[in-house]
Structure 1
Amino acid sequence: MSLKGSCLCGTVKYEVTGSLDFAGNCHCSICRKSHGAAFATWGIIKPDQFRWVSGEDFVQHYESSPGRTRYFCRKCGSPLASAHAGSVGEVVMGTIDGDPGTRPREHIFVGSKAPWYDITDSLPQHDTWPPGFMP
């Protein structure tokens, strides 16, 4: 299986060889501000599964918190991926072209979620990182 993704303007394209390990919704203030939304939905991958296919010259990145780098298209601003400790390990689900084959399994960092957004589904909610998970 292979997943393909791209930015809004189509300049940057990436590929994930294999499937997503899982997906989740992050409500932390950094994800909210980075995505301009109530939360960001991330697909977790193995770092060796990710590669930029085209437009890598247009990929900009910055360290949003210690050890975490976010990648986005500098032409259109689309957030694309993030890395912990140097290797891309997450892709923004909204940038995947087509059905990723998995659905979000949880909400994380709901302790700092937007006060104007109510979570109305039955997925598990964690105030910070889920038990046993920390990149």
Structure 2
Amino acid sequence: MSAFRGSCLCGAVAFEVKGPFDRFLNCHCSRCRKATGTAHACEVIVKAEALRWLRGETSVARFDLPDARSFATAFCKICGSPMPHLTRSGREAIIHAGAFDEPLRATPERHVHWTSRADWYAHGDGLPTED
């Protein structure tokens, strides 16, 4: 089993995730686009127990979108970098792929919420799409 380390931009927060990843997705929903400021969120999803904080967990803030059944995001309070967070059920952890410090030796497996994608997004990676 592999372990992958990650951190925020300022280095105050660090974490480790034990692989393998359950899912590796590009999410195109409007909420992920707003939360990341990009065409899609590139997210690794693992069981909650696979995530371990190495330092700075108290520097992570969480935002749960009040009118959403399941949307949340987390970020470093110091530098604003997206950080891992548990789903509301507590069963899974969601980690932005860009937060990892080392190569993941994996690639996204598909695009989700495809019909919500930005109209300016140019698709050309060959990954399957789903809603």
TM-score scaled to structure 1, two decimals? Answer: 0.87
Task: Please say if residues 22 and 103 of structure 1, whose CA atoms lie closer than 8 Å, have aligned partners that are also in contact.
Answer: no
* Among 57, 60, 70, the residue aligned to 2:73: 70
Q: Percent identity?
A: 38
1:15 counterpart SS class = strand
**2: CA distance between counterparts of 1:28 and 1:87?**
21
What is the aligned partner in structure 2 of residue 11 from structure 1? 12
Partner in structure 2 of residue 28 of structure 1? 29
Q: How does 1:37-52 map to 2 (within 5 A)?
A: 37-52=38-53
SS in structure 1 of the partner of residue 127 of structure 2 = coil
1:19-49 deviation digits (Å, cap 9, x = unpaired)? 2223110011111111110111001111111
- The count of residues paired between Structure 1 and Structure 2 equals 127
Encode CA deviations 1:30-80: one digit per residue, 9 max, x unaligned. Answer: 111111101110011111111111111210001133234321111111111
- Partners of 1:49 and 1:34 in 2: CA distance: 24
Separation of aligned partners in 1, 2:13 and 2:92? 15
Whether the 8 Å CA contact 1:81–1:88 is kept in 2: the answer is no
Matches within 5 A, 1:1-135: 1-64=2-65, 65-84=68-87, 85-127=89-131
* TM-score (normalizing by structure 2): 0.89
Alpha-carbon RMSD across the aligned residues, in angstroms, is 1.4
Larger relative strand fraction: 1
Structure 1 unmatched ranges of 5 or more: 128-135
